[in-house]
Structures are given as C-alpha cells and as structure tokens.
Amino acid sequence: MEIFEVVSMGMVASVLYLIIKDKQPAIAYFIVILTVISLFLYVIQYVREVLHLITYLGDMANIHSVYIKTILQIIGISYVAEIGANIVRDAGLESVALKIELVGKVFILILAVPIFRSLVETIIGIFPM
C-alpha cells in the first residue's frame, strides 16, 4: 500500500532531521522541506483524479462550473496555506505561520463572496421581499 511508502518516507526524514539538527540545522530544515515537497508531488497524482471526479460529478448534476472551480480553489488555498504555515512553524516562526493562515482565510473569504451572493439572490428569488 502507498501509505506505507509515505509513512516510511516521513520516518526516514524525521530520523535524518533528528540526527542532523544539532550540527547542521539549515541542512536539517532543508530535509524537512524536501520531504514535504516530495510528499506533495507524490500525492498530487491522486488529487488530480479526485479533482476530475468532482468536476465530472458537478457536470452530471448540472452545477455551474464556476461554482465547482471556486470550491476547488478554496480547498486548494486551505491546503497550501496549511502546508506553508506548518513549514514556517517548523522553522520556529509561529507569528509568520499565523499570518499565512490569516491570509489564506482572507483569500477563501474573497472567493466565497460570489457564491454567497448567488445564494442570497436565489433565496430572494424564491421568497421575494
């Protein structure tokens, strides 16, 4: 199973990090970044399949593609912000990590506004004031 490969990669990187961190902290941190990038590249093929499935189901349900695209962008922003914040947090920069999370939330809010507007317009159309 692929999960064993992923866990093994994480465990090896963790052991290397622990061995190297006291003598060469920059190299140890570089190992963490390379591991995260490797795991991301490994999993992206599966994410692509899920994205295609979601798009296909949205088309079958006759959901406007703008909504599907926006929701997928929101999901992407949340993952990228979380990964970025965690990498920065691992470097000991908690305040920067919090700002990355905040900016991610603001971007999500900006993307969600058109969907919220459409929802309100639909409700008003159903129940005129």
pLDDT at 103: 97
Residues with Cβ within 8 Å of 55's Cβ and at least 6 positions away in sequence, in order, are: 65, 68, 72
pLDDT at 1: 62
Give the domain ranges of the chain: 1-61, 64-129
Question: Per the structure block, which two tokens stand in for 40?
Answer: 């991301």
Considering only CA atoms, give the Rg of the chain: 20
Mark out the alpha helices in the chain (DSSP H runs). Answer: 2-20, 25-60, 65-90, 94-126
Helix axis angle, 94-126 to 65-90, nearest 10°: 160
Q: What is the pTM of this model?
A: 0.75
pLDDT (tens digit per residue) in 72-108: 999 999 999 999 999 899 888 999 999 999 999 999 9
Cα gap 31→35, rounded to integer Å? 6
